[in-house]
Amino acid sequence: MSALTGTGGLIRLILRRDRFLLPTWVIWIAVVPLGFVGATESLYPQAADRLQYARTTGNNPTFLALYGPLYDTDLGSIIAQRSGFIPVVIGLISALTVVRHTRTEEEAGRRELLGATVLGRGAGLAAALIVTMAANLVFAALLTAGMTAQGLPFAGSLAFGLQMAAAGCVFAAVAGVTAQLSEGAGAARGTALAAVGVAFVIRMAADVGGAGNSLSWLGWASPLGWTNRMRAYDGERWWTLALVAAFIAALVAAAGALSERRDLGVGVLPPRLGAAEAPRRLSGPFGLGWRLQSRSLYGWLAGFVALGVVYGAVAGGVEDMVRDNPDLREIFARIGGSSAITDAYFASVMSILGIIVAAYAVSATLRLRTEETGQRAEPLLATATGRLRWASSHLVFALLGPAAALAAAGTAAGLAHGLDKGDVGGVLPRVLGAAMAQLPAVWLVGAIALALFGLAPRFTAAAWAAVGVFALITLFGASLNLDERVLDVSPFTHVPKIGQDFTVTPLVWLVALAAVLSAAGMAGFRRRDLSAH
Amino acid sequence: MTANTPPISVSGLVKTFGRTRALDGLDLTVQAGEVHGFLGPNGSGKSTTIRILLGLLRADAGTVRLLGGDPRRDATELHRRLAYVPGDVTLWPNLSGGEVIDLLGRMRGGLDRRRKAELLDRFELDPRKKGRAYSKGNRQKVGLVAALASDAELLLLDEPTSGLDPLMEEIFQECVREERRAGRTVLLSSHILSEVEALCDRVTIIRKGVAVESGTLAELRHLTRTSIDAELAAPPDGLATLPGVHDMQIDGTTIKFEVDTPQLDAALRRLTEIGVRSLISRPPTLEELFLRHYKDELQEAGL
């Protein structure tokens, strides 16, 4: 039996399990750059417009940092730059997919069940890598076909698709290695995501000065730098693909060798021992809740600070972008000039922020359900801890966590933009206020999750569906010309927008509704049976 | 609670899950200071009963009294006085075993530190390992140490030894005997008959959500048969016509049969009339008692 026996069967298993998830991300993310073609063409129809764009927005430091250098002024190059964040996204998705089908399976004990059948030692790793990389290549093919069909040159489109897929494949291979190193799926995931983060920061430092700046060589130290140095639509440098392929091959070989050497269920790095006795603060449900949720809260907070900084730093660029474009400038002049531009910008990014924070609130609330189905709630509720106290130990995170997250993001955004404008005192309260105004809507989403947990515990996943629906309404509702009644379904529609007349009434309603739903959820949970499924 | 109120008293207990009737009029009484065996195969309703006693599930009908209180209304107060070990102890992946033991102890309202150290030692459990690093048997030990190191007056143990090796099973049995000597009451749900036989004062056998037998082992044995193996002076005859004799096998002068305990005396008298060269008599094992109640099910399964 070779190490890869049974890989085919596992590939089918992964495809069966991810039959919705894989096509969803592949198609969904491909739609974004394909949509840029039409949008860019209509915004910058003439060569002169594009030249103007390249001189201003395209070389604005925040754009360069987020998306990478702009190599030329043709349509393809502009789209290639604007798509510069996509490699990060598919790198993250690919890494998560690989960990999900390797270490998570092992941790759950399901791999052991399969390992007893005719299955080679490396089959699990190989199947996860093959499926993830194949998905990336399909993504590349979709992009190539879609860009070519919209009239862009084939060679450039192929390079464009492959540079995206290269990033996905590199981080899939990175996750293949991290999945061997640690004992828990959480650590494997964290290390892989941190690798994406480091690669992004290096690329950002290399590119913030524009193409050919003195730090530009740093880009060669980051896989995300290699991919944009493939220069799609600007004399493609195909040899960078060889570099990427060699790096992937080395990582896969390393992952294979590590998986060959270690036992199932353990990592290469030895697990750290914990304390023999519980510290003072771990004495009750709240101590335990803190222990279980604080790390995730810190992670989210760090992410929100970073997001806030990016929001704030880009705000200045948004003003520039609008100023460069006569059409947009005219639109905003009618609304109220330069400050209206930033207000409109912050209003829209803050509702996106609100939705992401709502996702945190849902995950913090549904931790209750995870603890229940994992049968870890049972021994706790068999002690002198009542149900409401136990539930509160997690709900305190759903209540206060979003407040901290919005405050962190709002402060970061306000400081970044305020420093940029040299007016922290004027900018910070406005931006922070716009962020905090999302809180009642976020609470309402958390309360929906709590009501489901208490009244219909088998359907708690519907809380995620609600987040998805609200996100769709908020992000695309206006541009899709949806009916007002549909827009009103999302609580984020009712949040007062920065720069408009502030009214407290909708916020009061949102809070009241959240309180009613929470009370119903808690009452339901008190009465119902504890269930493992 | 007065001295003669039983710590657990359940009557006519009914619990349904959708269409499944998990408990169908169960009666169960556990007296203070006894180790009570709760026997039944998987899916017979043992865990459901214990979860109702803990107030984790609601009863659909019947009365349940736990330590003189209502298991749901008085849950938090009652839980200070009991400790529980589930059949499948699940731990938090990033908490060490020692932390879980202390946490559960503190949440119950107290833990005997000396007893904890002693139990960790006897069960050979490393408390510093993280939850995810423990094997099934070691996770079970974490639950056992947490419960046994408490000062609870009632222990609810739901198949607590699943995954333990025979040596550890022995230590578990010692611990339960110590608990009994300390005057604690134990409800031990199990399908391991030898464990129940070795530990329990009284036994309740549950089948499809109903208690089919309850009493001391001696009482239960009295209700059933003794098996006899004898070598006689001459070929036996006329034995098969005696009342209460079953499954007779004769091979020359050796004879094997089972006899209902009330008819044992008459059967032995008949044997001595023929002349007995050797005799082995065996009381029914718990296994036989148990199987008798499940005979029709085994027959259905073709065994």
The predicted complex's ipTM stands at: 0.82
Q: Which of A220, A238, A265 is at the close of a domain?
A: A265
What does R_g of chain A's alpha carbons equal in angstroms? 25
pLDDT at A109: 72
pLDDT at A303: 81
Distance set, CA A477 to CA A21, A342, A467, A484, A496 (Å): 23, 21, 14, 9, 17
How far is Cα A296 from Cα A308, in angstroms, rounded to an integer? 18
Q: Which of B57, B76, B96 sits opposite A386 (nearest CB)?
A: B76
A110 and A232 assigned to the same domain:
yes
The tokens describing A50, both together, are 């594009």
A260 and A363 assigned to the same domain:
no
Taking CB atoms and an 8 Å limit, are A107 and B84 in contact across chains?
no
What is the full per-residue pLDDT of chain A (533 aa) written as tens digits? Answer: 577 888 888 899 999 988 888 898 898 888 878 888 887 888 888 888 888 888 777 776 667 777 888 888 889 999 998 888 889 889 989 999 999 899 888 877 777 777 666 778 888 899 999 999 999 999 999 999 999 999 999 999 999 999 999 999 999 999 999 998 876 777 788 788 888 888 887 887 788 767 777 778 888 999 999 988 889 998 889 999 999 999 999 999 999 998 888 766 666 666 678 888 888 889 899 999 999 989 889 888 988 888 888 778 777 766 776 676 676 677 666 655 666 777 877 887 888 889 889 989 998 999 999 899 888 999 999 999 999 999 999 999 999 999 999 999 999 999 989 988 888 888 899 999 999 999 999 999 999 999 999 999 999 989 988 988 898 788 666 656 678 888 888 999 888 877 666 788 899 999 999 999 999 999 999 999 998 77
A210 and A131 assigned to the same domain:
yes
B59 part of contact set with chain A, CB < 8 Å: no
Q: How many domains does chain A have?
A: 2
How many residue pairs bridge chain A and chain B with CB atoms within 8 Å of each other?
Answer: 119
The tokens describing A204, both together, are 């950002």
Taking CB atoms and an 8 Å limit, are A284 and B106 in contact across chains?
yes
pLDDT tens for residues A388-416? 999 999 999 999 999 999 999 999 999 98
A355 and A404 assigned to the same domain:
yes
Q: Which of A265, A297, A327 is at the close of a domain?
A: A265
Taking CB atoms and an 8 Å limit, are A385 and B95 in contact across chains?
no
A382 part of contact set with chain B, CB < 8 Å: yes
Residue A62 located in a structural domain: no
Q: Coil, strand or helix: which one is B20?
A: strand
Tell me which DSSP letter residue B21 carries.
E
Task: Suggest the residue from B67, B73, B107, B158 to mutate for an interface test with chain A (most A CBs closer than 10 A).
Answer: B107
How far is Cα A162 from Cα A230, in angstroms, rounded to an integer? 9
Taking CB atoms and an 8 Å limit, are B57 and A186 in contact across chains?
no
With beta carbons under 8 A apart, name residues in chain A contacting B56: 378, 381-382, 529-530
Residue A41 located in a structural domain: no
B82 part of contact set with chain A, CB < 8 Å: yes
**Is there a contact between B46 and A371 (Cβ–Cβ < 8 Å)?**
no
Chain B nearest-CA residue for A285: B107
Q: By C-alpha distance, which of A20, A72, A66, A32 is closest to A51?
A: A72
With beta carbons under 8 A apart, name residues in chain A contacting B108: 383-384
Taking CB atoms and an 8 Å limit, are B98 and A374 in contact across chains?
no
Residue B27 burial (CB count, 10 A): 15
Q: By C-alpha distance, which of B143, B168, B146, B137 is closest to B158?
A: B143
Could you tell me which residue, B284 or B19, shows the higher pLDDT? B19
CA distance A100 to chain B (A): 17
How far is Cα B25 from Cα B63, in angstroms, rounded to an integer? 10
- What average pLDDT does the structure give for chain B? 88
Taking CB atoms and an 8 Å limit, are B132 and A376 in contact across chains?
no
Highest mean pLDDT: which range of A102-106, B80-84, B109-113, B294-298: B80-84
A331 and A416 assigned to the same domain:
yes
Taking CB atoms and an 8 Å limit, are B99 and A376 in contact across chains?
no
With tokens 């570099």, the residue in question is: A243
A490 and A359 assigned to the same domain:
yes
Under 8 Å CB-to-CB from A50, ≥6 apart: which residues?
A: A44, A73, A74, A75, A78
With beta carbons under 8 A apart, name residues in chain A contacting B159: none
Q: Which of A273, A379, A383 sits opposite B128 (nearest CB)?
A: A273
Q: Which of B51, B92, B128 sits opposite A275 (nearest CB)?
A: B128
A254 and A403 assigned to the same domain:
no
Q: Coil, strand or helix: which one is A3?
A: coil
B20 part of contact set with chain A, CB < 8 Å: no
Residue A51 located in a structural domain: no
The tokens describing A501, both together, are 């007349």
A122 and A174 assigned to the same domain:
yes
B157 part of contact set with chain A, CB < 8 Å: no
* Structural domain containing residue A486: 284-533
A261 and A289 assigned to the same domain:
no
3-state secondary structure B32-64: CCCEEEEECCCCCCHHHHHHHHCCCCCCCEEEE
Residue A57 located in a structural domain: no
Q: Which of A183, A278, A379 sits opposite B86 (nearest CB)?
A: A379
The tokens describing B37, both together, are 């065996």
Lowest mean pLDDT among A222-236, B232-246, B281-295: B281-295
The tokens describing B253, both together, are 């002068």
The region that residue B275 occupies, defined by phi over 0 for left and psi between -120 and 50 for alpha, beta otherwise, is left
CA distance A272 to chain B (A): 8
How far is Cα A65 from Cα A224, in angstroms, rounded to an integer? 12
Chain A nearest-CA residue for B152: A383
pLDDT at A480: 61
Residue B82 pLDDT exceeds 90: yes
Under 8 Å CB-to-CB from A504, ≥6 apart: which residues?
A: none
A125 and A252 assigned to the same domain:
yes
Residue A169 located in a structural domain: yes
CA distance B216 to chain A (A): 29
**Is there a contact between B207 and B44 (Cβ–Cβ < 8 Å)?**
yes
With beta carbons under 8 A apart, name residues in chain B contacting A292: 92, 94
Note the helical H segments in chain B: 46-53, 75-79, 97-108, 113-122, 136-148, 166-181, 193-199, 217-222, 264-274, 286-300
With beta carbons under 8 A apart, name residues in chain A contacting B104: 379-380, 383
Q: Which of A107, A376, A382 sits opposite B90 (nearest CB)?
A: A376
Chain B nearest-CA residue for A293: B94
**Is there a contact between A54 and A321 (Cβ–Cβ < 8 Å)?**
no
Taking CB atoms and an 8 Å limit, are B102 and A277 in contact across chains?
yes
**Is there a contact between A468 and A349 (Cβ–Cβ < 8 Å)?**
no
Distance set, CA A416 to CA A148, A345, A429 (Å): 39, 15, 13
A509 and A379 assigned to the same domain:
yes
Q: By C-alpha distance, which of A528, A385, A505 is closest to A456?
A: A528
Residue A79 located in a structural domain: no
Distance set, CA A183 to CA A107, A162, A176, B89 (Å): 8, 33, 13, 20
Q: Which of A271, A284, A374 sits opposite B107 (nearest CB)?
A: A284
Taking CB atoms and an 8 Å limit, are B103 and A381 in contact across chains?
no
With beta carbons under 8 A apart, name residues in chain B contacting A381: 54-56, 75
Average pLDDT over residues B242-262: 84
pLDDT tens for residues B40-66? 888 889 999 999 999 999 999 999 999
Residue A236 located in a structural domain: yes
B91 part of contact set with chain A, CB < 8 Å: yes
Q: Which of B54, B80, B96 sits opposite A384 (nearest CB)?
A: B80
Q: Which of A216, A232, A265 is at the close of a domain?
A: A265
Could you tell me which residue, B149 or B303, shows the higher pLDDT? B149
A183 and A232 assigned to the same domain:
yes
With beta carbons under 8 A apart, name residues in chain B contacting A267: none
pLDDT at A456: 95
The tokens describing B226, both together, are 């003794």
Under 8 Å CB-to-CB from B212, ≥6 apart: which residues?
A: B205, B206, B293
What does R_g of chain B's alpha carbons equal in angstroms? 23
Residue A398 located in a structural domain: yes
Under 8 Å CB-to-CB from B272, ≥6 apart: which residues?
A: none
pLDDT at A64: 77
CA distance A164 to chain B (A): 36
**Is there a contact between B155 and B187 (Cβ–Cβ < 8 Å)?**
yes
Give the DSSP H or E segment for B82: strand B82-85
With beta carbons under 8 A apart, name residues in chain A contacting B128: 273-276
Average pLDDT over residues B64-71: 94
pLDDT at B1: 47
